[in-house]
Amino acid sequence: MAVRPEVPDGAAEGTLTVWRPVQPPYGPPEQFDAGRRAAGAALFAAGAAERKRFVPREPDGRPGFPPGFPGSIAHTDRLAIALVVPGASSVGVDIESAVITARMARFVLRGLESQTLLPPVGDYTMRELFAAKEAAFKALYASGALEEFPFWWIELAEADGVLIASYRGSQVPVWIRSEPDLSLAVAIRR
């Protein structure tokens, strides 16, 4: 199993995080189950009124976190994570273990992102930026301010040492932490 990165410092305050392993045979039903169980445990840790075994699914597919306890779920084929941040406006999380190919990078990243955020100029890997866009999409979409849109339309830029994701005037900071085989991205609108 992959080493679990800790929640990045800038996102850690008030964030309740639960990891769960995905059970064999590691398919979509097991990934869904692990994510929903992690979310239920994170809600309980956050002080939600009742511990739910599963967080329900909204009609659009998003997890249905209760009012006052925004959260997000992500998983790989072997590991799931849920974050709950009481009092936040919206939350997004993503974990990535996949190798992001150059072809994928050209599709997901805009020219300026590639030129300024990837080496040799920037310090991010393609896997980290992919995860950042996914986490930001979840936070921006969950805020209710935007209609559904493809996650790769989000623009990433660094400002004063913080990665900022934006789409149509809405912004969210994104924090990243990586291990050699796994990247974690967290986006929180407070």
- Positions at the binding site: 36, 94-96, 134, 138
Contacts for 142-148: CB closer than 8 Å, 24+ residues apart: 142/62, 142/70, 142/72, 142/90, 142/91, 142/92, 143/89, 143/90, 143/170, 143/189, 144/90, 145/170, 146/170, 148/60
157: Cβ contacts below 8 Å, ≥ 6 apart: 112, 113, 116, 117, 163, 164, 166
Binding residues for CoA: 36, 94, 134, 138
Binding residues for Mg(2+): 94-96
Quick check: 54 and 40 in contact, CB under 8 A?
Answer: yes
